[in-house]
Structure 1
């Protein structure tokens, strides 16, 4: 399953009402590190299909959700479990480190 594009209008339905794990990537088109981790997030979404949904929120197009969760820099990765935020990771990182962070936070 590929990453899911989420907007201010669909955030509640796609993330908050999702009973499973959702990794939200707050990103921007002008952000170099965001582009750097994009392919890794696509791979993670496919490798963990059925266990994790990877949602992408473009902060320039969707400022409400960004402000609601206090996102001040991109990329910011936020993990939601049962609709509640459980962990936040700032900045780009290697794929293996992101997977480990998700597994540790979800445990």
Structure 2
């Protein structure tokens, strides 16, 4: 979890998508690519596999799939479970720039 702590302590927003590869989640990698392309280096966009990071997912009480979180300066700013579109995610991240 040390790496996770370093990751979320960034002074720019960090969007994290907790997902499970076995899920038929509507939110595809293409959506996250669109978000990352639109924001460039203003924010980080990361996918974390729940099954490969069970301890972290349990610590953050990730129950649904996908679960999105936005962190900035080590503090969770926003969290939502369920598919999200790129426009919504971009708008949310822009609030924390």
Q: TM-score, normalised by structure 1?
A: 0.79
What is the Cα deviation at residue 52 of structure 1?
0.7
Mapped to 2, the partners of 1:96 and 1:16 lie a distance apart of: 22
What is the Cα deviation at residue 44 of structure 1?
0.9
Q: Which runs of 5+ in 2 are unaligned?
A: none
Q: Segments of 4+ in structure 1 off by > 3 A?
A: none
Mapped to 1, the partners of 2:56 and 2:4 lie a distance apart of: 8
Q: 1:3 is matched with which residue?
A: none
Mapped to 1, the partners of 2:84 and 2:5 lie a distance apart of: 27
Question: Relative contact order (alpha carbons < 8 A, sep ≥ 6): 1 or 2 greater?
Answer: 2
The aligned length equals: 97
Q: 1:16 is matched with which residue?
A: 8
Q: Which runs of 5+ in 1 are unaligned?
A: 1-7
Mapped to 2, the partners of 1:17 and 1:80 lie a distance apart of: 8
Q: TM-score, normalised by structure 2?
A: 0.86
Q: Does the 8 A contact of 1:33 with 1:92 survive in 2? A: yes
